[in-house]
Chains A and B, each alone.
Chain A
Amino acid sequence: MHHVHLDNWSRGRSPLHRRDPRAKILALIVFLIVLATTPANASLTLGIDAALLIAGILIAGLPLGELLLRAMVVLPFSLTFGLISWLAGDRLRALALIEKSYLSAAAVLLVVGTTSLPALLSGLERLGAPRMLVLVAQFLYRYLFVISEQAQHMRLAARSRQGDPRFHRKGRFRAAAGALAVLFARSYYRAEGIHRAMLARAFTGRFPLLGSLHFRVADGAFLLAAAAFLILVRVQ
């Protein structure tokens, strides 16, 4: 599954991996803003941004081809709208749209590929995201694949029992609803089980967190350098 790749990628030890997640998030935002505000015909700027990304991917030791492939998930959307813009006569805008949205996706992949999700969430919390939201996202991610696997098993089981798909549409609809109800119930009971396990280990009503992020000189230097470079390139 997709996430497995991200989990593996984020276990590296490159200089990028070791940066504080806050520095990476802020650098990402600067990159994205610079990209978003770059006019359509500034191809040199776009080229330099792309080169910077590729350099980052190589420094991080991430599989370049695979990452660039995964960034294509945004293409269906951008190609459709790009095509419309192209046909409307605005070719430059069309190309820019496709390039920029692809580069944005690749940039996000680079950051998420060098930061484990719990670290990313910690960084977001330190940057001001509400604690409740961050904790919910943390639990969501923890159980995302467990429950998705359950759903896949149910799908497989349903398909094994299915007759000719042309018939019994209403029955299959109700069966799918039933499957979701079962998945819902199991998820609910799972949450109750988690709660019991929390209580058994003396849960006090507030989640204790180990997390200590240390913003070091290297992180500051990285952020300043990245931001300065990007803004300079943009304003040229």
Chain B
Amino acid sequence: MHIPDNFLSTPVWASLDAASIPAVALLARRASRDLDEARIPLLGVMGAFVFAAQMINFPVGIGTSGHLVGGALLGCMLGPAPAALVMTAIVAIQAFVFQDGGVLALGANVFNMAIAGVLAGYLPIHFWGRTKRRKQAIFAGAFLSVMASASLAMGELLISGIAMPRPLILISMALFAMSAAIEGAITVAVVEAIERLNPRLAQKTHASSGRAIVLLSAAAILLGGVGFLLASSAPDGIQQIGVKLGLAAKTGFHAPLADYSVGLFESSWLRRASAGLAGLLLIYGVCLGAGRWIGRQRSA
């Protein structure tokens, strides 16, 4: 689910970078307000824990084993904003140190896994995490977390014009659903094991999240859901949209490989680039404005 560089088309990775930058800045500011710098070692260590935890095998079938992704677990234990910050650090380290995911695509991967993934996973826990239905809430959260990040990644790849025959897309979505279910099972099992081990740890109540986080969580789930539905029902449709919007890379499925298409690209390069830049600034501005608005809502 970590998208490497050169898979997403330029408008897609660039706009996701533009969207992620204010989002991460907002998260960092939110986290530094809730916890002072003394808690930074805890966040770092929890990030290291998630990395290490990904090594442990959970047997799920004959010869198959699953692994923890960790977004929902972190959200449960730390709260959504710190969890998203930790996941951002994890994704960044994975990209730079392990080349797992690209550098230009960092915005996309952070958006999918650290922001949408964590937020989507948090909603059920926010509403039902302290009720009798806690187990189901945690399962649902972990499930949504993986489905949202995977669907978004898939959607981004398709809209970039990556060739994928429909059967393959459907198989992928089915695999995502299986991984999501496994994540749910593992997360529930681990949270319960932590509670048995030391109830004090599991009760580390974080500041109850405001309306803004709940709204964002719902938005994340919707986004993931829309991506999922589109991908499974109309994969060719997404690609067509991508081509029409100019988001898909020029040499697409049916374009002839003649030189003239490259020449076209070259001559309108400057026009395209400036249009693209304007679009980026617009997206960046919208995200920044949204972030400020959210910040004001919270302090009200």
Contacts and interface: CB of A to CB of B under 8 A. Distances in A.
Asked if the two chains touch in their complex, CB atoms less than 8 Å apart, one says yes
Interface of A: 2-3, 6, 28-29, 32-33, 35-37, 39-42, 70-71, 73-74, 77-78, 81, 84-85, 88, 90, 92-93, 96-97, 100-101, 104-105, 108-109, 112, 117, 120, 130-133, 135-144, 146-148, 150-152, 154-155, 165-166, 169, 172-174, 176-185, 187-188, 190-191, 194-195, 198, 203, 205-207
Interface in B241-270: 249-253, 257, 259, 262, 265
- The list of the 6 closest CB pairs from A to B, nearest first, reads A139-B44, A130-B28, A181-B193, A177-B189, A140-B47, A151-B52
Contacts of A166: 62
B6 A155 contact: no
A137 B37 contact: no
Interface stretch (B84-92, B132-140, B143-151): B84-92
Interface stretch (B196-204, B209-217, B290-298): B196-204
A141 B28 CA distance: 18
A142 B193 CA distance: 27
Given A155-B56, A176-B56, A181-B197, A143 B45 contact: yes
19 contacts: A81-B7, A97-B6, A117-B97, A131-B28, A133-B85, A137-B44, A137-B93, A139-B48, A140-B89, A141-B97, A147-B52, A148-B52, A169-B60, A176-B189, A177-B193, A178-B193, A181-B196, A184-B49, A184-B201
A215 to B, nearest CB: 21
Contacts, number: 256
A165 B52 contact: no
Interface string B132-171: 0000000000000000000000000000001111001000
Nearest to A100: B6
A190 B45 contact: yes
Interface of B: 4-7, 10, 13, 24-25, 28-29, 31-32, 36-38, 40-49, 51-53, 55-60, 62, 68, 77, 85-86, 88-90, 92-93, 95-100, 102-104, 162-165, 168, 185-186, 189-190, 192-194, 196-198, 201, 249-253, 257, 259, 262, 265
Contacts of B189: 173-174, 176-177
B98 A180 contact: no
Contact of B197 (A74, A109, A185): A185
A175 to B, nearest CB: 10
A136 B53 contact: no
Contacts of B163: 81, 84-85, 88, 90, 93
B90 A140 contact: yes
Contact of A195 (B25, B41, B168, B190): B41
A140 B85 CA distance: 12
A29 B92 CA distance: 15
Contact of A132 (B32, B56, B93): B32
Given A93-B251, A133-B88, A188 B42 contact: yes
Contacts of B4: 74, 77-78, 101, 104-105
- Which residue, of B42, B99, B190, B196, has the highest number of chain A Cβ atoms within 10 A? B99
A169 B32 CA distance: 43
Given A112-B97, A205-B36, 15 more contacts: A70-B99, A100-B5, A120-B96, A137-B89, A139-B40, A147-B51, A155-B57, A177-B189, A181-B193, A181-B197, A183-B56, A190-B45, A198-B38, A198-B41, A206-B37
